Amino acid sequence: MAAVPVDRAMAMTGLMETEATAAVGKARQSEDPRDRQPGARAYAAEAGGLSTVYADLHLHIGSTEAGEPVKISASRNLTFRNLAHEASARKGIRLLGVIDAHSPGVQADIAGLLERGEMEEAPGGGIRYRDTTVLLGSEIEVKEPGTGPAHYLIYLPAFDAMRSFTGWMSRHMRNVRLSSQRIYVSGRALQEETKSRGGLFVPAHIFTPHKSLYGSSADRLSDVLDPELVDAVELGLSADTAMASRIPELDRYPFLTDSDAHSLAKIGREYNELRLAEPSFAEFAMALKGQAGRRILTNYGLNPKLGKYHRTHCHSCGTTSESDDDEERCPLCGNARRVGGVADRIRQLGAMAGRAEPKLDPKRPPYVYQVPLEFVPGIGRKLLDKLLDRFGTEMAVLHRAAAQELADTVGPEAASRIVQAREGTLELQAGGGGRYGKVK
């Protein structure tokens, strides 16, 4: 299904605020609306039914509580605890995927949080903090013979399973303490090890020009992976559902849209709207399969133009292409040193597979172009704090606050821009070559 504005997508899916959401909203009206602990009360309110859960399933850890680096390029205040707190108290994201949970330093932090009672293991899988559940995952690099490197996401159901997985990885990896490290096994071997522990396997940011399956590793998924052991694919910031629908072998898989956050502010930059009984590993696995009413309702993502690798970029003259012509050299300076764009790579892959145009499955969830609040011109830290004081979380601002309520809180100009962001009418400049696009 093509991308649609937020309001229309919500009407299409018939979403209604659940009793649990209402209960949480009332709790947030007390002294500090961003620091409530609804916990079990939220789950009790929705007992016997399904509710809407926002999920961001690709989040990095910058460092451990002891200051040990994990993801070198991520913010040092992006610890396991801080990430869970930010998502719960400010973002309104109730299901998180921490993909550095294989690191022994991160595991030591988790063990301490469990021992102190700040968090608990969720019966359905994951680590629960207040009204939010953290899935334990890992991002792993694989380089098949004769190909470039590709990144894969795995999610495991329990803390013990992840610690066991770390023990296995340490025999095939040079530094298991760091994020996104290369493992010296094949992609198929990694899939089998994941499945032997009851895990889920998802190719990460599948089209990006560096370290992804289609971007640098293969022309076909089946060349490097067992298609039967793939549970979903992650689109990445520079692609959307319509673009991915040019690839026939992806027709069978659900699509995920995640932030790949390297800082607290980036949590929820892209996210998924799920229908679950509660946020947990077991419920997420059921949603990917569409079982018992659990499902992906909506993918919320950046307009691909805002992604860092949407169009081909020339490193020599700094030009980002806007052409659909497949030139080998930059049309401006003639240089061949270019970073291929996701849009151009997908067009190439579609032509190779005999599908020149997207084949949209009407049963797929709508893909909604969502401009995060931090991308909206004029929404700085002070105005964002005002919005959170009034509405509780960023999800409430983006999905439930009325236009007049926004204007009463931050003024008509800022409110108008938030509404434009919802409706997908902001004018954008395409990104490429590692530089994000921007709102003009």
pLDDT band per the 50, 70, 90 thresholds, residue 313: low
Who has greater pLDDT, 21 or 181?
181
- For residue 305, pLDDT over 70 is answered with yes
Query: Rounded distance, CA 326 to CA 299, Å?
Result: 30
- Residue carrying the six token digits 């998802």: 202
Judged against a pLDDT cut of 70, whether residue 322 lies above it is answered with: no
User: Per-residue pLDDT tens for 40-75?
Assistant: 333 333 444 899 999 999 999 999 999 999 999 999
pLDDT classification of 320: cutoffs 50, 70, 90: low
> Residue 318's pLDDT is what?
55
- What per-residue confidence (pLDDT) applies to 332? 60
- Asked if residue 407 has pLDDT above 80, the reply is yes
State how far the Cα of 379 lies from the Cα of 260, in Å rounded to an integer: 22
Cα separation, 407 vs 404, in Å, equals 5
CA dist 24 and 39 (Å) reads 9
Over range 22-41, report the average pLDDT: 32
**Which domains occur in the chain, in start order?**
6-304+358-371 (3.20.20.140), 374-423 (no CATH)
pLDDT at 321: 65
Structure confidence at residue 40 (pLDDT): 32
> Which residues lie closer than 8 Å to 316 by C-beta, 6 or more apart?
330, 333, 335, 337
Q: What is the per-residue pLDDT for 26?
A: 33
Predicted pLDDT at 44: 35
Q: 182-221, pLDDT tens digit by residue?
A: 999 999 999 999 999 999 999 999 999 889 999 989 999 9
Q: Measure CA of the first residue to CA of the last residue in the chain; give whole Å.
A: 27
> Which pLDDT value is given to residue 25?
34
- Ramachandran category for residue 92: left, alpha or beta (phi over 0 → left; psi -120 to 50 → alpha): left
With cut-offs at 50, 70 and 90, classify the pLDDT of residue 399.
confident
Categorize the per-residue pLDDT at 315 as very low, low, confident or very high, splitting at 50, 70 and 90. Answer: low
Section 305-323 average pLDDT: 69
Distance CA 57, CA 139 (A): 11
Q: What is the mean pLDDT of residues 229-244?
A: 95
Rounded Cα distance, 170 and 138, in Å: 13
CB atoms near residue 89 (< 10 Å):
22
Percentage of the residues of the chain whose pLDDT score is greater than 70: 83
The dihedral built from the CA positions of residue 111, 182, 266 and 205, taken in this order, carries a sign that is negative
User: Residue 362: exposed, middle, or buried by beta-carbon count in 10 A (0-12, 13-18, 19+)?
Assistant: exposed
Locate tokens 């998180």: which residue? Answer: 96
pLDDT confidence of residue 46: 45
The answer, yes or no, to whether residue 34 has pLDDT greater than 60, is no
The tokens describing 301, both together, are: 């993502």
What tens digit of pLDDT does each residue of 124-139 get? 999 999 999 999 999 9
The C-alpha atoms of residue 335 and residue 319 are separated, in whole angstroms, by 11
366-383 pLDDT, tens digit per residue, is 999 888 888 888 898 899
What confidence score (pLDDT) does residue 327 get?
65
pLDDT given for residue 38 in this prediction? 29
The mean pLDDT of the chain is 85
What average pLDDT does the segment 314-339 reach?
A: 63
pLDDT of 8 reads 34
Q: Would you state the pLDDT for residue 331?
A: 60
- Structure confidence at residue 233 (pLDDT): 98
For the whole model, what pTM was predicted?
Answer: 0.84
78: Cβ contacts below 8 Å, ≥ 6 apart: 60, 61, 62, 63, 71, 261, 262, 263, 264
- Contact between 44 and 278 under an 8 Å Cβ cutoff? The reply is no
